[in-house]
Amino acid sequence: MAEKTDIFITGVGGQGSLSASTFLGQAAVEAGLKVLVGEIHGMAQRGGVVESSVRIGEVYGPIVSDGQADILLGFEPIETLRAMTKASEKTLVVTNTHPVVPAMVSMKGDKYPDTDEVLGRIRAISPNVIAFDATETAKQAGNAQALNAVLLGVLAGAGVLPFVAEILRKVVLDGVPEKARDVNEKAFAMGMEMAAKQTPAPCA
């Protein structure tokens, strides 16, 4: 097992990225590992950028340095691209391709960047990318709000976490309301299936 695992998470307010960091932190604790979770809420309630970090293992602060992320988990493609300063060619990048167009962009009539172009720029930094419409996958599972369960399922299925998938699955299901468990369980499983379909080179 690696001495440490640095995970950087980015998205916009309301997508569940902060819950994802909490679930990852709890799973690490359940696995008996040291963990530090750091959060930058930003303008979370207004759809602004929300960033967080989960550092597992022998670490001494919550900040993931530029170029040092082992895993970059992006809930929105543009925000994933913005966060690529944290990545290197060894980073596994998991990103939702479903755009969240900022209100100011719509109001000004500006054009949201082409998603293929955004992904191309991401892959120019790291070739280890799992990219798909995770929002649509969550909808197929039963609720778009299960987005974080889908993306965490991808991480679990990719085999990049320092604990087994079942620990994270249980933490996710225990952390959602009982009425939402079936949907989130399906979403998590669909994320694991997506990881099996997209198999980038392992990050060293």
User: By percentage, how much of the chain surpasses pLDDT 90?
Assistant: 76
In 3D space, the residue among 30, 40, 34, 31 whose CA is nearest the CA of residue 8 turns out to be: 40
Q: How would you write the chain as a 3-class SS string?
A: CCCEEEEEEEEECCCCHHHHHHHHHHHHHHCCCCEEEEEECCCHHHCCEEEEEEEEECCCCCCCCCCCCCEEEECCHHHHHHHHHHCCCCCEEEEECCCCCCHHHHHHCCCCCCHHHHHHHHHHHCCCEEEECHHHHHHHHCCHHHHHHHHHHHHHHHCCCCCCHHHHHHHHHHCCCHHHHHHHHHHHHHHHHHHHHCCCCCCC
Q: Does 81 map to a domain?
A: yes
204 domain residue, yes or no: no
pLDDT computed for residue 103 by the predictor: 53
- Please count the structural domains in the chain: 1
User: 202 lies in a domain?
Assistant: no
Evaluate whether residue 43 is within a structural domain. yes
* Within-domain flag for 23: yes
Mean pLDDT for 183-190 is 98
Whether 143 maps to a domain, the answer reads yes
Query: Is the predicted pLDDT of residue 85 greater than 50, yes or no?
Result: yes
The residue that leads in pLDDT, 111 or 92, is 92
pLDDT of residue 49: 85
Whichever domain contains 98, its CATH number is 3.40.920.10
Range of the domain at 124: 4-197
203 falls within a domain? no
**Domain membership flag for residue 99:** yes
Give residue-wise pLDDT tens across range 26-71: 999 999 999 999 987 655 455 678 899 999 998 888 899 999 999 9
How sure is the predictor about 148, in pLDDT bands with cuts at 50, 70 and 90? very high
> What average pLDDT is seen over the chain?
90
d(CA 59, CA 62): 8
With CA atoms as reference, report the closest residue to 188 among 37, 18, 20, 28: 20
More confident position, 22 or 109: 22
User: Quick one: tokens of 197?
Assistant: 């379909």
Q: Which of 12, 28, 178, 11 is nearest to 94 (CA)?
A: 11
